[in-house]
């Protein structure tokens, strides 16, 4: 049976968990009984507890009954960076990091990238099913008719410095949208949430294109309803004096596929931010501004930009050896390598690598690809990277494609955000429909000073 959780959580035979003077250890599987429970013996008290195991997980709250005395708070699990904590049940995206599998609503990413469109995938993520022809037409129509933004948003983008990072502009502008749509506060209404989903998916390319043109001092281009989602985005980015912009079909398709590949990735940093901030019941725009801010970081959505900067810094194939040594010595990280979940080749990177050549055939080869290919080869053969299961991730090749399309590096994370928008809103919607969810509020282990008396300034 397909499970919703990461494979590492889906172990049918986990043995017993023993708490031994503050140390938790697994007892051999032979001790496990033929039922879905975990027997915990607290060696501090000698007491034994039987905890239910559901979907390969124990409930952290079940640990609280394990106490040394009545006034003891009870055992908590300690998991900085949520390395082994499932924060939600979800039916949206399945990842098996060991095997390199990614599926949206059960559909393999490779099939969706080859056969569907970004809007079809957006509909799938939010609603759970691929749209019928009629549903897709209605959805496309609605997205097309929500692409415009209020003129004050245009003025807001204008107010940024000439060299403002487009991601900074995107974060602020998405947050500002909440003031234009105060009705978005009605998060209890299913219809209202659906409307915000349409607005956000529709308006992100418009804002992104405004940010791009602001940097170049070019007049803003309004959406063209005759064009596809990615075709219209290219129009808003690149239209100059021509009456009608005609997108290059290869670039249009490549952009659409890149958006599909980025559309969701279960509980990553930005999605967790969207869910966590959204759990306070703030509107979708404010929650998405937080998600976008999380994506801005170089360890997350900023990595595609960092990869191209790294390849430029390496400069030539002959310098790769030295750079790899620096990475092994901990001086630098190989950007676009490694992933918290994938301990195998990222399936998205495989699709992107193939697509890169289609784009290069159209617009000319990006010279950095030779450095990238050689770097990949050397790293995949090197014991340091093999031992740590560090493979190229989605960002390793995507930046090279964007660069070949004529897009500047600091726009790359913005493109990631456009692709991820349907995933963020779908996860936010799922969280709000989930009766088990409450406002996110992790615990801490306090290790600071005990109570002490205030010391007057003269005595310090």
Smaller CB separation from ligand CMC, 227 or 372: 372
- Residue numbers 287-326 binding ligand CMC by CB under 6 A: 299-301, 303
Residue 245 or 424 having the CB closest to ligand CMC = 424
Among 255, 390, 411, 421, binds ligand CMC (CB under 6 A): 390
CB 225 within 8 A of CB 145: yes
Given 395, 410, 434, 435, which residue is catalytic?
395
Residue 269: CB atoms within 10 A of its CB come to: 18
List all residues 6 or more positions away from 293 whose beta carbon is below 8 Å from its beta carbon. Answer: 171, 273
- From the list 172, 267, 268, 427, which residue makes contact with ligand CMC (rule: CB under 6 A)? 268
Q: Is 350 in the site for ligand CMC (CB under 6 A)?
A: no
**Cα separation of 43 and 21, whole Å?**
6
- The residue sitting closest to ligand CMC, measured at its beta carbon, is 338
For residue 338, state whether it binds ligand CMC (rule: CB under 6 A). Answer: yes
Per the annotation, the verdict on 300 as an active-site residue is yes
Residue 265 within binding range of ligand CMC, rule CB under 6 A: yes
- Which position among 123, 165, 265, 339 bears the catalytic label? 339
Least separation in angstroms between CB 343 and ligand CMC: 9
Q: Does 25 bind ligand CMC (CB under 6 A)?
A: no
Counting Cβ atoms within 10 Å, is residue 132 exposed (0-12), middle (13-18) or buried (19+)? exposed
- Sign of the Cα pseudo-torsion (268, 347, 14, 18, in order): negative
Q: Which of 334, 349, 415, 425 touches ligand CMC (CB under 6 A)? A: 334
Residue from the set 340, 354, 377, 443 that interacts with ligand CMC by CB under 6 A? 340
Per-residue contact flags (x/-) with ligand CMC for residues 208 to 247, judged by CB under 6 A: ----------------------------------------
In the complex, minimum distance from the CB of residue 104 to ligand CMC, in angstroms, rounded to a whole number: 15
Smallest distance from ligand CMC to CB 47, Å: 35
Dihedral angle computed from the Cα positions of residues 426, 432, 435 and 439, in that order, rounded to the nearest 10 degrees? 120
Query: Is there binding between residue 327 and ligand CMC (CB under 6 A)?
Result: yes
**Can you tell me the distance from the alpha carbon of 82 to that of 220, in angstroms, rounded to the nearest whole number?**
42
Buried b (16+ CB within 10 A) or exposed e, 329-368: eeeebbbbbbbebbbebbbbbbbbbebbeebeeeeeebeb
Among residues 62, 98, 300, 382, which one is catalytic?
300
Question: What six digits make up the tokens of 18?
Answer: 């023993």
Instruction: Judge whether 395 counts as a catalytic residue.
Output: yes
Task: Output DSSP code: residue 394.
Answer: T
For ligand CMC, the binding residue among 44, 154, 198, 333 (CB under 6 A) is 333
Q: In what order do the strands lie in the sheet with 16-20?
A: 23-27, 16-20, 37-42, 47-52
- With binding defined as CB under 6 A, does residue 187 bind ligand CMC? no
Is 339 an interacting residue with respect to ligand CMC (CB under 6 A)?
yes
- CA nearest 376: which of 361, 360, 356, 359? 356
Residues 4 and 20 sit within 8 Å (Cβ to Cβ) = no
Going by the DSSP 8-state scheme, the letter that residue 60 receives in this structure is: G
What is the C-alpha separation between 1 and 7, in angstroms, rounded? 12
CB-nearer residue toward ligand CMC: 281 or 388: 388
Name the residues annotated as catalytic: 300, 339, 395
Q: Which residues bind ligand CMC (CB under 6 A)?
A: 265, 268, 299-301, 303, 327, 333-340, 388, 390, 393-395
């Amino acid at each position: 049976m397909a499970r919703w959780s990461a494979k590492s959580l889906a172990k049918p035979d986990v043995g017993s968990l023993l708490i031994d003077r503050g140390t938790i250890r697994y007892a051999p599987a032979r001790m496990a009984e033929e039922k879905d429970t975990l027997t915990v013996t607290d060696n501090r008290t000698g007491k034994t507890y039987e905890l239910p195991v559901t979907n390969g997980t124990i409930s952290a709250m079940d640990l609280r009954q394990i106490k040394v005395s009545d006034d003891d708070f009870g055992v908590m699990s300690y998991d900085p960076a949520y390395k082994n904590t499932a924060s939600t049940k979800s039916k949206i995206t399945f990842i098996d990091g060991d095997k390199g599998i990614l599926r949206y609503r059960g559909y393999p990413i490779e099939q969706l990238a080859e056969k569907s469109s970004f809007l079809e995938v957006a509909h799938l993520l939010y609603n759970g099913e691929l749209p019928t022809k009629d549903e897709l037409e209605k959805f496309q129509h609605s997205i097309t008719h929500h692409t415009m933004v209020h003129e004050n948003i245009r003025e807001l983008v204008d107010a940024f410095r000439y060299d403002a990072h487009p991601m900074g502009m995107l974060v602020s502008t998405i947050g500002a949208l909440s003031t234009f749509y105060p009705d978005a506060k009605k998060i209890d209404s299913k219809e209202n949430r659906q409307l915000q989903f349409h607005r956000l998916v529709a308006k992100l390319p418009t804002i992104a294109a405004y940010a791009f043109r602001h940097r170049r001092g070019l007049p803003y281009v309004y959406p063209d309803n005759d064009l596809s989602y990615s075709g219209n985005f290219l129009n808003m980015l690149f239209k100059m004096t021509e009456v009608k912009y005609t997108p290059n079909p290869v670039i249009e398709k490549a952009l659409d596929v890149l958006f599909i590949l980025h559309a969701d990735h279960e509980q990553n940093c930005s999605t967790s931010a969207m869910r966590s901030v959204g759990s306070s019941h703030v509107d979708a725009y404010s929650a998405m501004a937080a998600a976008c801010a999380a994506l801005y970081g170089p360890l997350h959505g900023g990595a595609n930009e960092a990869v191209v900067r790294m390849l430029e810094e390496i400069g030539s194939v002959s310098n790769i050896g030295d750079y790899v040594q620096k990475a092994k010595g901990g001086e630098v990280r190989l950007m676009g390598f490694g992933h918290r979940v994938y301990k195998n080749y990222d399936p998205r990177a495989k699709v992107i690598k193939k697509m890169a050549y289609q784009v290069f055939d159209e617009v000319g080869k990006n010279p950095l690809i030779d450095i990238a290919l050689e770097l990949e080869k050397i790293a995949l053969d090197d014991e340091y990277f093999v031992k740590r299961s560090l493979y190229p991730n989605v960002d390793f090749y995507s930046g090279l494609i964007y660069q070949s399309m004529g897009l500047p590096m600091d726009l790359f994370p913005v493109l990631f955000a456009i692709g991820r928008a349907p995933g963020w809103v779908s996860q936010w919607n799922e969280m709000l429909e989930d009766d088990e969810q409450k406002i996110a509020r992790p615990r801490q282990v306090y290790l600071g000073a005990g109570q002490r008396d205030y010391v007057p300034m003269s005595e310090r």
